[in-house]
């Protein structure tokens, strides 16, 4: 079965450093998403991406965050200057159709900011 | 998108059917009901979705009331691996992303 792959599985970084989280969505999918989940809390939507541009973003997705699909296969989330409160599990997802229809999620990257 | 209400937790004996309710009394005519689950900090997993007809797939059945104000996800023979948080989400088709609530924590007990 096709799957969404995220790397790394764990990332520890110092406060103020830049991090890039990487995702390889399912190959024929057109819609891409990033979510995060702070330990013990809800899964929160960050951003959706379609046709090489952001289609929707949440209030969490401020100027510290950016997304890119650099080469037609990878989908990245960059956090420019990490803060302690950015520590969370970050999930990438992709879908062939828009909205909630059968979105496939990766296993996540656990980001720890120290 | 319509707000959904789910019980915070439920238990189910292994091998029995797990019936997870969801209220969505303000759902509009073009909003689908989606169910996802999250097994212990893994990525959420799509289960099933429907508009007004009942739906069944290899994982579960979805029963939507005639007035569409509530629905029930049925896992016909729950196993220990079905222990997870289950999310009911009302969403229009289109580019609106999934928004997860707190869901129902289902514990399947041996």
Q: How many CB pairs under 8 A join A and B?
A: 71
Contact map slice: A 8-47 vs B, CB within 8 A: 31, 33, 35, 37, 42-45
Cβ-based neighbour number of residue B49 at 10 Å: 20
Percent of chain B scored above 70 by pLDDT?
96
B41 inside 8 A of chain A by CB: yes
CA Rg value for chain A: 13
Q: Note the pLDDT of residue A89.
A: 98
pLDDT average, residue stretch A83-89 = 98
> Percent helix, strand and coil across chain B, each rounded to 5?
5, 50, 50
At B57, phi and psi to the nearest 5? Answer: -140, -170
Residue A58 — pLDDT band, cuts 50, 70, 90? very high
pLDDT average, residue stretch B32-58 = 94
Say which of B41, B98, B99 has its CB closest to residue A103: B98
Q: Note the pLDDT of residue B94.
A: 66
Question: Which of the pair, A101 or B90, is modelled with greater confidence?
Answer: B90
pLDDT average, residue stretch A35-62 = 95
B101 inside 8 A of chain A by CB: yes
Q: Which pLDDT tens digit goes with each residue over B58-90?
A: 999 999 999 999 999 999 999 999 999 999 999
Percent of chain A scored above 70 by pLDDT?
98
Q: Note the pLDDT of residue A99.
A: 67
For tokens 């970084």, what's the residue?
A13
At B92, phi and psi to the nearest 5? Answer: -75, 150
pLDDT average, residue stretch A2-19 = 97
- Separation of alpha carbons B32 and B55, rounded Å: 12
B60 inside 8 A of chain A by CB: no
Residues B31/B37/B43/B47 CA torsion (nearest 10 deg): -60
The tokens describing B69, both together, are 């104000």
Q: Determine whether the interchain pair B94/A98 forms a contact, defined as Cβ–Cβ distance below 8 Å.
A: yes
CA distances from A96 to B5, B94, B106 (A): 28, 12, 29
Closest CA of chain B from A45, distance in Å:
6
Residue B95 — pLDDT band, cuts 50, 70, 90? low
For tokens 């948080």, what's the residue?
B85
DSSP B13-47: ETTSPEEEEEE-TT--TTEEEEEEEE-TTSPPEEE
Question: What does the mean pLDDT of chain B come to?
Answer: 94
The tokens describing B102, both together, are 């707190």
């Amino acid at each position: 079965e096709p799957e969404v792959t995220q790397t790394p599985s764990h990332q520890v970084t110092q406060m103020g450093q830049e991090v890039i989280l990487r995702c390889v969505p399912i190959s024929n999918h057109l819609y891409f998403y990033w979510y995060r989940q702070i330990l013990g809390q809800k899964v929160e939507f960050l951003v959706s991406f379609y046709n090489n541009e952001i289609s929707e973003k949440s209030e969490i997705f401020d100027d510290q965050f950016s997304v890119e699909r650099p080469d037609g296969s990878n989908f990245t989330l960059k956090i420019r200057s990490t803060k302690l409160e950015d520590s969370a599990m970050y999930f990438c997802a992709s879908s062939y159709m828009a909205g909630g229809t059968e979105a496939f999620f990766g296993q996540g990257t656990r980001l720890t900011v120290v | 998108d319509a707000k959904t209400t789910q019980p915070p937790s439920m238990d189910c004996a292994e091998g029995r059917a797990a019936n997870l309710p969801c209220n969505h009394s303000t759902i509009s005519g073009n909003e689908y009901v989606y169910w996802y689950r999250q097994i212990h900090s893994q990525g959420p997993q799509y289960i099933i979705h429907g508009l007004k007809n009942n739906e069944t797939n290899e994982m579960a059945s979805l029963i939507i009331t005639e007035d569409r104000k509530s629905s029930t996800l049925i896992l016909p023979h729950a196993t220990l691996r079905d222990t997870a948080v289950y999310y009911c989400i009302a969403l229009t088709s289109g580019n609106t992303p999934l928004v997860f609530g707190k869901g129902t924590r289902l514990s399947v007990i041996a």
